Structure 1
Amino acid sequence: MTAILLGSFVVLLIINVPVSFALMIASLAALTWGGIPPTLVGQRMTAAMDSFILLAIPFFLLAGQLMSRSGIARDIMNLAYALLGWMRGGLAHASIGAGTIMGGMTGSAVAEASSIGGVMIPEMQAKGYGGAYSAAVVAAGSLISVLIPPSVPLIIYGVVTGTSVGRLFIAGLIPGLLMAAVMILVTWWMAMRAGYPRGPRPTPGAVWRAFVASLWGLFMPVVIIGSIRFGIATPTEASVLAVAYALLVGMVVYRSIRWRDLPRIMLDTAVTNGVVLLLISAATLYGLIITREQVPQEAARLILELTGNPTVLLLLILAVYLVAGMILDLGAAIIILVPVFWPMTRQVGIDPVHFGIVTVMGLAVGLITPPVGASLFVTCGIARVNLIAAARAVLPYVAALTLLVVAVILWPDIALWLTRDM
């Protein structure tokens, strides 16, 4: 059954079947081959959705849509440009800064790449930045959203392992900010080599005006993180607070969202949410069959025969993540791979929160590496450049992010320091 499950899944991916459907078809083929009633498909996929914490995903996605439509995204980009635009390659730095702030609203790297890329990439190209470079910078900057709360991948990891989503959110803050710092360094180095222009050095008054204009948007992460950190709300309840706050800002403060706009916003959110939850349910069924076939136990036995050192084990797992991220969607990879590695990490005493941060960071690199590379694919479409050219331009970011994940593995306190007193 395992050979049918894995073989059919690989074949379906090769012929370009969407990942969620490939998971379902491969699972159905394996169950049929094993003589198990195919009714299990519907039962298990439905049961996978019966989770209170999963309610946070549609609400966070809706809050991100509302904030993007309200005009806050433009104000945040202006603030990022006021703070970072004076550096060599100022617009590129601004896209990284905007991505860091927007990560506290969207929770989705692909959504962030689309919203920021639609504004920044045409402006960068008009100022003489290369199309491949523009696509690479925005795609790389979007990855920060997988760590800065509200992170959809961290929610999925929490559901799969039973780890506290609140602790995962808090743990993602420092690695997320370090990711932004590393990307700014790489962007500066690439801009210096290419001779990209600087923006004007801002006056204190200009920075203050940009800060005041974006204050409503900057307060959104405070609402989410603060309500979780101080026990006011669970992550799911915080997602509802985020929607209420986004509605207030969009309809009352900015007055850019009207009642007649809500059906379209709801529909766009429902489509995105449907894609995410279908993937989760299909991957859960696939993971169930893998578990039933004792694949995690065998994998744990083989790897633990090689090493029982937690650091070496995480480095080996990272190597698998970097390859898997090239061919699997981030959410699907979490649901498929984490149950395989989870038993062995618990056996050697790796903190589940630390493992979660390493997992999401390692797999997120795949969002900017072909052939899947969802974020890079989106920005290439906006910039109208060849995917291969953009993939070459993004290689320095891939190398820098990989080194950052290794640093988080070697020094777990980077991820765990803020969670100590929770």
Structure 2
Amino acid sequence: MAVVLICGFLLLLILNVPISFALMIASLAAILYGDIPPMLVGQRMTAAIDSFILLAVPFFLLAGHLMARSGIARDIMNLANAVLGWLRGGLAHASIGAGTLMGGMTGSAVAEASSIGGAVIPEMVRKGYSPAFAAAVVASGSLISILIPPSVPLIIFGVVTGVSVSRLFVAGLIPGLLVAVVLLVVVWLMAIRNNYPRGDTPSRKTILKALRASLWGLFLPVVIIGSIRYGIATPTEASVLAVLYALFVGLVVYRSIRLRDLPSIISDAAITTGIVMMLIAGATLYGLIITREQLPQQAAAFMLTITSDPQMLLLLIVAIYLIGGMVLDLGAAIIIFVPILWPITQQVGIDPMQFGIVTVLGLGIGLITPPVGASLFVACGIARCQILLGSRAVLPFIGGLLALLLAIVFFPGIATWLPSRM
């Protein structure tokens, strides 16, 4: 049954079938081959998305769409440009800065690549940056959003493992900010090497004006993280607060969203939510069959024959993630790999917060590597450059992210210190 499952899934991927449907079809084929009642398909898929914590996903996505439509993205980009634009390669630095601030609103790397890329890539190309470099900057900067709350991948990881999503959100803060620092360093080195232009040195008045204009947007992450951190709300309840806050900003403060715009905004968020939920449902069914075939136990026995050292085991897991992330969507990869690897990490004493951050960042690098590379494809589409050129331009950023990933492996306090203070 496992052979039918895995081979069927790989064949469907080669045939370019969407991942969620490939997971479902391969799982159904394995169920029929194994003489398991097909009724199990509907039951398991429904049970997979019947979760209180997963209610946070559509609300956080809706809040992100509302904030993007309200003009907050533009104001945050202006603030980042005012603070960082004077550096060599200023627009690229501003893109990373804006991505850091927007990461606390969208929770989705692809959504961030689309919103930030649409605002900054055409301007970067006009100022003399190569389209491939512009796409690489935006695509790599979008990975900040998978770590900084409200991260949808961290919610999925929490659902799969039963780990507290609140603690995962707090654990993602320091690694998310370090991702931004690493990317800024890479941008600075490449800007010097390619002699990219500096922006104008801003006055204090310009910075204060940009800060005032973006205060409403900057306050949203405070609402989300603060309400969770101090026990005012659960992550699901915080997602509803985020929607109410975004509605208030768009309808009352900015007045850039009208009541007649709400159906289209809700529709966009619903489509994105549907994609995420289909992935979760399909991958959960796939994971069920893997569990029935006792593949986690076999994998654990095999990996523990190689090493029982936690750090070496994490390095082996990172290698698996880097390969798997190249061909699987981030959400689907979490649901497929984590149930197999989670028991192993607990057996050798790896901290759940460390494993969660390593999982999301390790698999997230696949968002900027072909052939799946969703964020890279979006950014290259906006920049109108070939994916091959974008793939070459993003290599230095991947190198920096890998260095940070190794640092989290060998220095777990990067991920565990902040949640331990809760």
Q: Partner of 2:284 in structure 1?
A: 284
| Counterpart amino acid of residue 110 in structure 2 | V
Equivalent positions of 1:116-131 (< 5 A) are 116-131=116-131
Equivalent positions of 1:258-269 (< 5 A) are 258-269=258-269
| Counterpart amino acid of residue 70 in structure 1 | S
Q: Secondary structure at the match of 1:40?
A: helix
Q: Partner of 2:59 in structure 1?
A: 59
Deviation at 1:21, TM superposition (A): 0.4
Q: Secondary structure at the match of 2:129?
A: coil
Q: Distance in 1 between matches of 2:210 and 2:369?
A: 34
* Percent of aligned pairs sharing the same letter: 70
Deviation at 1:113, TM superposition (A): 0.2
Q: Structure 1: which 5+ runs fail to align?
A: none
Q: Partner of 2:311 in structure 1?
A: 311
Equivalent positions of 1:21-420 (< 5 A) are 21-420=21-420
Q: Distance in 1 between matches of 2:164 and 2:322?
A: 25
Deviations 1:339-358 (A, max 9, x none): 11001100011111110011
Q: Distance in 1 between matches of 2:78 and 2:5?
A: 49
Deviation at 1:204, TM superposition (A): 1.0
Deviations 1:314-360 (A, max 9, x none): 01000000010100000000000001100110001111111001100
Deviations 1:236-270 (A, max 9, x none): 00000000000010000000011100000010010
Report the RMSD for the aligned CA atoms in angstroms: 0.5
Deviation at 1:131, TM superposition (A): 0.5
Deviation at 1:421, TM superposition (A): 2.5
Q: Distance in 2 between matches of 1:92 and 1:161?
A: 37
Deviations 1:357-400 (A, max 9, x none): 11001001000000000000001111111001000000001111
Q: Partner of 1:13 in structure 2?
A: 13
| Counterpart amino acid of residue 243 in structure 2 | V
Deviations 1:55-101 (A, max 9, x none): 00000000000000000100000000001001111001100000000
Q: Distance in 2 between matches of 1:385 and 1:39?
A: 47
| TM-score when normalising by structure 2 | 0.99
Q: Distance in 1 between matches of 2:88 and 2:300?
A: 48
Q: Secondary structure at the match of 1:37?
A: coil
Q: Distance in 1 between matches of 2:272 and 2:41?
A: 22
| TM-score when normalising by structure 1 | 0.99
Regions of 4+ moved over 4 Å: none
Q: Secondary structure at the match of 1:256?
A: coil
Q: Distance in 1 between matches of 2:421 and 2:327?
A: 38
Q: Distance in 1 between matches of 2:192 and 2:356?
A: 35
Deviations 1:200-240 (A, max 9, x none): 11111111111111000000000000000000000000000
| Counterpart amino acid of residue 235 in structure 2 | P
Q: Distance in 2 between matches of 1:237 and 1:168?
A: 16
Q: Distance in 1 between matches of 2:251 and 2:87?
A: 36
Deviations 1:283-322 (A, max 9, x none): 0000010011000100000001111111110010000000
Q: Distance in 1 between matches of 2:388 and 2:421?
A: 46
